Amino acid sequence: MAPRSHASSPAQDDSSALNERERAAHLLARLAYGPRPGETKRLIAMGVEKWLEDQLQEQDSHDPRLKTWLSEYQTLGLSVKECAEFTYTQRVDKKTPSQEEQRAERIKRRIPLDEVVWSTALRAVYSDRQATEVMAEFWRNHLNVSFTKGQNIYSMVPDYERSVIRDQVWGSFPAMLVASATHPAMLTYLDNHLSRRPPSKQELKEIERQTERKTGSKERAVEAVQIATQRGLNENYARELLELHTLGVDNFYAQNDVIALAEILTGWTIEGGRKGSQAFHFNAAMHVPGDIKLLGKRFAEDKEKGPGQGMEVLAMLGAHKGTADFIAMKMVRFLVADVPPASLVKEVAKTYRTSKGNLTAMLRTIVDSEEFWSRKNFRTKFKTPYEFIISALRVTGAEIDRQASIGNYLAEMGQPIYHCDDPTGYYDTADAWLDPGVMALRWQFATDLALGKVRGVKIPETFFDQIPYDAPPRLWEHHLTTLILPGGAGPRTRAALATVTSEYLDQKGKRVPNLNQIGPTLVGLLLGSPEFQQQ
Amino acid sequence: MSPTNPTSRRDFLKLAAISGVALHSSSFAAQLLAAQPVGPGYLTQEGANQSLVVIFLRGGADFMNIVVPYGDPDYPAFRPTLAMNLDAGLIKLDKTFGLHPAMASLQPLWGAGQLAPIVCAGSMHSTRSHFDAQDWMEFAAPGDRTVRQGWLNRYLAITEPPKAKASDFRALGMQELLPRSLRGNYPVLAVPRSLTKKKSSSTLDAFERFYGEGGTDMEGGAAMSGEREADAAGVVESGRITIETLRRLQEIVAASDKKSASQSVSGSSYPDSTFANRLKQIALVLKAGEGLEVSGLDYGGWDDHSQEGTVDGKMATRLRDLSSSLSAFCQDLGPALARTTILVMTEFGRTVKENGNNGTDHGHGSTMLVMGGGVKGGQVHGDWRGLKQDALYQGRDLAVTTDFRDVYNAVLENALGFEPPKDFFPGYKPNKMKTLF
């Protein structure tokens, strides 16, 4: 049995290398949502390199339970059109539906939302391809779309999550960028599907004529023209495409570039209507014609009357030095440190440029770097609420059922899945999350989880079987610390746990202590400890 | 050390100044603190017992359709589908401006001279990025990415020793995460929705051993890595402050609940919304008289790029909730309203001309609203230069004729009795608004 002092690593200065156990803990903290029971040991046994290889080779989890659960979802594999049809309720007659019918329609419409949110959490907790889940979360935020946009986006998100995020995680950024730019969810979320050139005089006349013919009213015709006159450019997507998706704010571009890009992207819309494909569609009639100058370069009109001009712009942005720098900075900040080491950012940007934005290659550069493994960056990054909750569920081997209420906790902590209103996505640095007060919510969750008070979530009794049956009660807290904080605990945390244990044992007097009584209390405290808040 | 020991927070600030270790990366207030002699010179007696509530509308609210220039001859042409006039129900403020009809619940405040719109207010910086614009307004340092401490936090840090009693509960963010204006070295509580009641205090007790004062040196040696790492990132400090301040808040809420239960109902009725509930909680703390000076609350969702609506519609729905909540809040405060100032703001205005989708895109100048006892309301403030092409910023947006820091300055001085020292707003030349208060 390990002596007590092994619960923490000995005092180290920043220059000393991480030991084997710390390396395993670090890798699982950064490229996974922490270990599930037994995983730290398994990683040490198989070695860092083999673990990484497995992670980067394929994205699908082998976990049989997860496979079964995912297969039970109805909308995850559907295209946007299929999903829209799935959630659509055909009304048999025209009379107003009863309240009950309306309720049923609402529930049906919400199915994709619930399934996307749920499957995201389930995968993060159970998947044995954790690096995919971690990077998927990174891209979900980088190319944020949100259910808060409204009901018409619900049926688009399952396909977005699958084809833009998951399928591209180990592909290339330029390809992912095109996938997002041509996806109905992004076009809707940032309003580009509505953006068009203002109508010509001739078109307005035509509208007037047709409206008058249809309605027989001159007034209605004038009204229709007034409304039509208003149709035009929407800058929303063009701005965020430059600011948040590629170059970074006010980097290389100015307001006139935003307008130019908005013009180039007019006509990038969705083939809508009941009969439409619900897929990306270039509508030449909505497009501002002609060559357009952007970032000092002329982009020629597509002679085929297709989206060629915009595609060229996306290719230019995907190959831009500014994009390489920006994506590299964000990846390093996400995986290494809130203040990303400049040397590593430079290396990763170089990989971006030489590999044409290959995301696997960029990740490799990070994981192979000195900076990644430096003690300076060991357990120094504050977990986001999502990372905190998912890692707590994993480390305790918690079983969660579909009705689990972890969504409520995430919402109260300010990070509900796929509900970030702002196109920035959720931030990943401590200054966005570490306000006084937030710790109280984490302690509440830690305590609730450990004591079995989170609805639909249960830590299995076998969790405590990991502690040797003959371990003396005074060492229970030591064993639990090793399980929950594989990187070790500081002296205050250890002393605090020892006090709790002592109080329990004193109170027991001569009666036999019971791990099932004190164990959950200790687990709750460990999950709420300062050390567990860090990755 | 007891949680309310006066030296504890101050020591923390000093420590932050010396070591650069702080909850958040910057220590701008700490630098100011070190550079400026802190004394009662900045403070006036009138500032005692006064309070400021800052409401931030996130997304860039289209204030041109909130305080509407219906009397400007060019307005209707810019807003073919979005324009509103008196016939549509605008509440007439003067011959140029009318208030959105969904804000009718604020009419009594206007009538009582307690509502003051400042038109064409905003930041001189040209950014149209939500995120830069918000940061720079809330850190009150346009264009300067090195300042990472909110303007209200700087106020709190600088005035700590002369102004506050040790027991004062000076500031809070009434939401799960702080607005940036309250972020910084001075410990301000982000109030968790479910944890204001005393019954959740056992959680705080349980974690005090892990986060409370003292105990870092239990084994006589240097703190070992795990804890040192968490410490460096401010987790332990944040936890300690959470315990101290949340306990104090729970006491205040419990006492105030008791008090208001024994008093007759004040007659104010809040709408049933998240925003209203949060305002109600602020009122509870304010009425407790425990020294609350600054509170912050966000209202999200104002980025109306499409289908903005007019008298009804998306923005009107939000405005109705916003104003009926604020109206109930003011009634709820009763006599305390005389000592309370409310500032409503957003990061930028929107394009003067509506866009192609019955919405508006990111613009420049906007309007700020100041409400409360001390303000000279019942009149529209600010310099309106009309909507002729050459009056517009970059030919498309409202110009900014009042720097938002002029308003901050006036509010700090009149609502909190604090005259900002030089460089409180980096690079800003103070310009006094003589008529606002």
Q: Tens digits of per-residue pLDDT, B200-213?
A: 778 899 999 999 87
- Assess if residue B432 is contained within a domain: no
A436 shares contact with chain B (CB less than 8 Å): yes
Dihedrals φ, ψ of B345, to 5°?
-150, 170
pLDDT score at B7 = 39
Question: Which range is least confidently modeled, A4-18, A57-71, A192-206, A516-530?
Answer: A4-18
User: Of A338 and B48, which is predicted with more confidence?
Assistant: A338
For the sheet containing B91-92, what is the strand order? B67-68, B98-99, B91-92
**What's the rounded Cα separation, in Å, for the pair A446 and A442?**
6
**A408-446 pLDDT tens trace:** 899 999 999 999 989 999 999 998 999 999 999 999 999
Q: Identify the CA nearest to A391 among candidates A531, A527, A530.
A: A527
Residues 175-204 of chain B with CB under 8 A from chain A are 176-178, 183, 187-195, 200, 203-204
Q: Do A414 and B226 touch (CB under 8 A)?
A: no
- Assess if residue B259 is contained within a domain: no
What's chain A's Rg over C-alpha atoms? 27
Domain count, chain B: 1
**A286-339 pLDDT tens trace:** 999 999 999 999 999 999 999 999 999 999 999 999 999 999 999 999 999 999
Q: Rounded mean pLDDT of A350-377?
A: 97
- Assess if residue A275 is contained within a domain: no
Q: Do A12 and B223 touch (CB under 8 A)?
A: no
- Assess if residue B175 is contained within a domain: yes
pLDDT band for position B8 (cuts 50, 70, 90): very low
pLDDT score at B227 = 60
Question: Which range is least confidently modeled, A54-68, A245-259, B17-31, B181-195?
Answer: B17-31
pLDDT band for position B24 (cuts 50, 70, 90): very low
Q: Rounded mean pLDDT of A462-490?
A: 92
Q: Is the pLDDT of residue A367 over 80?
A: yes
Mean pLDDT of chain A: 92
Q: What count of CB pairs under 8 Å joins A to B?
A: 243
Q: Is the pLDDT of residue A405 over 70?
A: yes
Segments forming the whole domain that contains residue A221: 201-230
CA distance B67 to chain A (A): 22
Q: Do B225 and A378 touch (CB under 8 A)?
A: yes
Q: Do B218 and A234 touch (CB under 8 A)?
A: no
- Assess if residue A125 is contained within a domain: no
A chain contacts of residue B129, beta-carbon cutoff 8 Å? 239, 243, 249-250
Segments forming the whole domain that contains residue B328: 6-196+213-225+268-416
User: Of A250 and A464, which is predicted with more confidence?
Assistant: A464
Q: Identify the CA nearest to A372 among candidates A4, A17, A13, A2.
A: A17
- Assess if residue B427 is contained within a domain: no
- Assess if residue A407 is contained within a domain: yes
- DSSP state string for A341-368: -HHHHHHHHHHHHHHTSBHHHHHHHHHT
pLDDT score at A60 = 84
Dihedrals φ, ψ of A384, to 5°?
-70, 165
Q: Please tell me whether residues A428 and A515 are part of one structural domain.
A: yes
pLDDT score at B15 = 37
Domain boundary (A230, A245, A271) is at A230
pLDDT band for position B45 (cuts 50, 70, 90): low
Q: Rounded mean pLDDT of B293-318?
A: 95
**What's the rounded Cα separation, in Å, for the pair B215 and A479?**
22
**What's the rounded Cα separation, in Å, for the pair A256 and B338?**
47
**A229-276 pLDDT tens trace:** 767 889 999 999 999 999 999 899 999 999 999 999 999 999 988 889
**What's the rounded Cα separation, in Å, for the pair B324 and A388?**
37
- Assess if residue B386 is contained within a domain: yes
Q: Please tell me whether residues A506 and A446 are part of one structural domain.
A: yes
Residue of A nearest to B81 (CA): A227
What's chain B's Rg over C-alpha atoms? 22
pLDDT score at B221 = 38
- The CATH number given to whatever domain includes residue B31 is 3.40.720
pLDDT score at B199 = 67
Q: How far is CA A351 from CA A25, A49, A359, in A?
A: 26, 20, 9
Q: Is the pLDDT of residue B9 over 70?
A: no
CA distance A495 to chain B (A): 7
Q: Is the pLDDT of residue B11 over 50?
A: no
Give the end-to-end CA distance of chain B in Å, rounded to a whole number: 42
Domain count, chain A: 3
CA distance B110 to chain A (A): 33
Question: Which range is least confidently modeled, A51-65, B262-276, B306-320, B381-395?
Answer: B262-276
- Name the helix (H) or strand (E) containing B29: helix B28-35
Q: Tell me which of A239, A257, A443, A500 to substitute to probe the interface with B (most B C-beta atoms closer than 10 Å).
A: A443
User: Of A167 and B231, which is predicted with more confidence?
Assistant: A167
**What's the rounded Cα separation, in Å, for the pair A385 and A441?**
10
- Assess if residue B378 is contained within a domain: yes
pLDDT band for position A144 (cuts 50, 70, 90): very high
**Across the strands, what pairs with B346?**
B57
- Assess if residue B359 is contained within a domain: yes
pLDDT score at A179 = 98
- Assess if residue B248 is contained within a domain: no
Give the DSSP letter of residue B274: H
Q: Identify the CA nearest to A285 among candidates A298, A266, A303.
A: A266
Mean pLDDT of chain B: 85
User: Of B181 and A93, which is predicted with more confidence?
Assistant: B181
Domain boundary (A213, A230, A247) is at A230
pTM attached to this predicted model: 0.88
Q: Please tell me whether residues A407 and A496 are part of one structural domain.
A: yes
Q: Rounded mean pLDDT of B383-387?
A: 96
A433 shares contact with chain B (CB less than 8 Å): yes
| Start-end of H helices in A73-146 | 80-87, 99-126, 130-142
Q: Please tell me whether residues A336 and A464 are part of one structural domain.
A: no
pLDDT score at B147 = 87
Dihedrals φ, ψ of B367, to 5°?
-130, 145
